[in-house]
Amino acid sequence: MKKQVIIFQLNDEPVEIYVDPAESLLTVLRDRLGLYGTKAGCSKGECGACTVLLDDRAVNSCLVPVGKVQGCKVETIENLSRGGKVHPIQEEFVDKGAVQCGFCTPGMVLSAYALLKENPQPARDQIKMAISGNLCRCSGYKQIEEAILSAAKKLARQGNSIT
């Protein structure tokens, strides 16, 4: 394969990397850039463990050729914590017991983040739809839904935007 320079924003920082544009974004994030919070699960777009935000939309990074992120903004789970403080969504996942084995957690949190950015007060069915592409092998869906509802309420009480 022919390599080329791909330039994009990653977690609010510019990235310029020389790679095969057909290589998956997941592989580039984990193997070339050392961002291990994005989990490698099925590599078929079926589990959601590799979810990242691409221009504020939740996507399966295993299905995105890195050449498609040229000029785009990519955010991984590593970008949610700020100044040593976890994001309210992450906080609620812990408080509501939505973190069991933790493998699905980064993808679930980023799917929740994308939802709450678009819809700060979602109904339960909207939450279910937003996380429908993320599989939890521990069957913690009820706690995950509760964590997202609670995070939405907490953010509204604090008057905070999602970011």
Q: What is the three-class DSSP state of 91?
A: helix
> What six digits make up the tokens of 141?
């869906």
Q: How confident is the model at residue 84 (pLDDT cuts 50, 70, 90)?
A: confident
Specify the CATH number of the domain 88-158: 1.10.150.120
If one counts every other C-beta atom within 10 angstroms of the C-beta of residue 55, the result is 13
Question: Please, where in the chain does CATH 1.10.150.120 lie?
Answer: 88-158
Q: What is the pTM of this model?
A: 0.94
Decide if 87 contacts 63 (C-beta within 8 A). Answer: no
CATH 3.10.20.30 boundaries in the chain: 4-78
| Mean pLDDT (whole number) for 108-127 | 97
4-78: CATH homologous superfamily? Beta-grasp domain (3.10.20.30)
